[in-house]
């Protein structure tokens, strides 16, 4: 369904005149005109010029089942007619929220002594992490330790864009706008060996050192002032950063030693992305709270939430009294129905198992092979997320001057040649739909290699190499 030139121009003009895009330089966008996506099917999106583009990012890490799933559309349609909205305030509930809460409690594996029998719903990852801030502070109040207020997170982590979420995030570009982070949030280094390991330091030694930054920060702040540590199992928006194997066990040792709560932000990583229903299971750590969103509805309708582990639930539910927190759309019936149908499809198609034992390993092998490309310094994946580092010189892993914007250049070549990759600086990342088959993955890898070749030629032509 390509659009005629007049329609495209009208849309771009109105877009520039009226629509403020997220994370966008609006003046720059108005000058070049937005790309118009008109429709999508399966793993492909189509733009206004009629181009068919393989969506290597599942929208924004969310359309895990691919586009055009009639089962979800039909179920949502029926739910809208049956009960489009009701709230769960004032001692009221409704069937879909109860069913989804029960279903999630069944899916989330116990972590040691911790069971995940309770869930709090929101509409996004950001709201869920704001909920986490409220939850952990409420927990420590109820525990008679109200001085435990501080949440520790990591530089280059991403936890959302609300005031709370952006504060927890470790993105300097976000912090510099609007006096963030708020008080009571502290940051430590990320476990990104490529960037931070010392020369000669092994990956595992580096992982231990990165984890011990948490202990140092706890001691610096005073152990009895720290409420929680929050982290993504694998950093997503920061550039698909996969921690060394030594990292999570050491983090677990440290949070146990100081008794602080552990929050696993699985907005990207839960629901099969890493080949497990929840990523804490893959890495073997024991969170107290688990943030989710995105893949729970395959992005068809907004829904997020927090799985509340028994340590917190016990205090909050049994002795808590009223928790003065909630959203109009907490447990929205239509969103809950979208999630229930998404989970039905995932189970019927065995997608989590497929990522774990088939497509994840297939992607890992094929993606790692991209490391022979002259522009690629490191290419690694975990389940169905992957990232590669563009470098000027592979032998010494020398990076390009970041001001050149080689990542964005590569992203343009991707988009214009039929595949969506995201650029985080000069890291090129993907999070393809979980429904992809081996041959879809082969096609994705072929398109990526072609875009890398075009980028190499472009970089050479510009005299940057
Ligand atoms: N946490 C993580 C790990 C995320 O990746 C994101 C979104 N990319 C968020 C939180 C925020 O989610 P939302 O954009 O739905 O508010």
CB of 203 closer than 8 Å to CB of 197: yes
| CATH 3.30.360.10 at 35-68+350-461, yes or no | no
pLDDT value for 139: 98
ipTM: 0.99
CB of 259 closer than 8 Å to CB of 227: no
pLDDT value for 318: 87
CA–centroid distance, residue 263 to ligand 1 (Å) = 14
pLDDT value for 178: 87
Q: Using CB atoms within 10 A of its CB, is residue 420 exposed (0-12), middle (13-18) or buried (19+)?
A: buried
> For residue 331, what pLDDT band results from cuts at 50, 70 and 90?
very high
Report residue 28: phi and psi, to 5°: -65, -45
The SS3 call for residue 430 is strand
| CATH 3.40.640.10 at 74-348, yes or no | yes
CB of 120 closer than 8 Å to CB of 131: yes
Residues paired with 379 in a beta bridge: 388
Dist CA 161 CA 22 (whole Å):
10
State which ligand 1 atom lies nearest to the alpha carbon of 126.
16
Give pLDDT tens digits for 334-385: 999 999 999 999 999 999 999 999 999 999 999 999 999 999 999 999 999 9
pLDDT value for 228: 99
Pocket probe for ligand 1: among 58, 160, 429, the residue whose CB has the most ligand atoms within 8 Å is 160
Give the residue, by CA position, lying nearest to ligand 1 atom 10.
Answer: 159
Q: Parse the chain into domains and list their residue ranges.
A: 35-68+350-461, 74-348
CA–centroid distance, residue 296 to ligand 1 (Å) = 13
Give pLDDT tens digits for 401-422: 999 999 999 999 999 999 999 9
CA–centroid distance, residue 128 to ligand 1 (Å) = 9
């Amino acid at each position: 369904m390509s659009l005629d030139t007049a329609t495209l121009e009208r849309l771009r003009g109105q877009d520039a005149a009226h629509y403020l895009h997220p994370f966008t330089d609006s003046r720059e966008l108005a000058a070049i005109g937005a790309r118009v996506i008109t429709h999508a099917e399966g793993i492909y999106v189509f733009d206004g010029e009629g181009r068919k583009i393989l969506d290597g990012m599942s929208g924004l890490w969310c359309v895990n089942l691919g586009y055009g799933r009639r089962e979800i559309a039909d179920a949502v349609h029926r739910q809208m007619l049956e009960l489009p909205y009701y709230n769960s305030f004032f001692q009221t509930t409704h069937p879909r929220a109860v069913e989804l809460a029960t279903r999630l409690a069944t899916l989330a594996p116990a972590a040691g002594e911790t069971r995940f029998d309770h869930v709090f719903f929101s509409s996004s990852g950001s709201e869920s992490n704001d909920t986490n801030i409220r939850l952990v502070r409420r927990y420590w109040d109820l525990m008679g330790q109200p001085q435990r207020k501080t949440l520790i997170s990591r530089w280059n982590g991403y936890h959302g864009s609300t005031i709370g979420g952006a504060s927890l995030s470790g993105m300097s570009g976000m912090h510099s706008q609007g006096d963030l982070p708020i008080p009571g949030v502290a940051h430590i280094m990320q476990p990104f060996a490529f960037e931070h390991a010392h020369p000669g330091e092994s990956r595992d030694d580096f992982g231990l050192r990165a984890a011990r930054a948490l202990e140092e920060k706890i001691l610096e702040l005073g152990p009895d002032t720290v409420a929680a540590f929050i982290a993504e199992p694998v950093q997503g928006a920061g550039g698909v950063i996969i921690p060394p194997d030594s990292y999570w066990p050491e983090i677990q040792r440290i949070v146990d030693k100081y008794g602080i709560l552990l929050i696993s932000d699985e907005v990207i990583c839960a629901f099969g992305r890493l080949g497990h229903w929840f990523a804490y299971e893959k890495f073997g750590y024991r969170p107290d709270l688990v943030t989710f969103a995105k893949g729970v509805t395959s992005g068809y309708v907004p829904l997020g939430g927090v799985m509340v582990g028994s340590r917190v639930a016990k205090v909050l539910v049994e002795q808590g009294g009223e928790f003065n927190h909630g959203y109009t759309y907490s447990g929205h019936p239509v969103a809950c129905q979208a999630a229930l149908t998404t989970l039905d499809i995932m189970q019927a198609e065995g997608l989590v198992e497929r990522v774990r034992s088939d497509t994840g390993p297939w992607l890992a092998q094929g993606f790692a092979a991209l490391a022979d490309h002259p522009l690629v310094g490191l290419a690694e994946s975990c389940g169905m997320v992957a990232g590669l580092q563009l470098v000027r010189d592979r032998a010494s892993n020398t990076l390009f001057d970041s001001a050149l914007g080689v990542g964005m250049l590569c992203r343009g070549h991707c988009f214009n040649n039929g595949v969506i990759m995201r650029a985080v600086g000069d890291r090129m990342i993907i999070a393809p739909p979980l429904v992809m088959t081996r041959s879809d993955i082969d096609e994705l890898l072929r398109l990526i290699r072609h875009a890398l070749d075009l980028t190499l030629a472009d970089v050479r032509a510009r005299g940057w190499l």
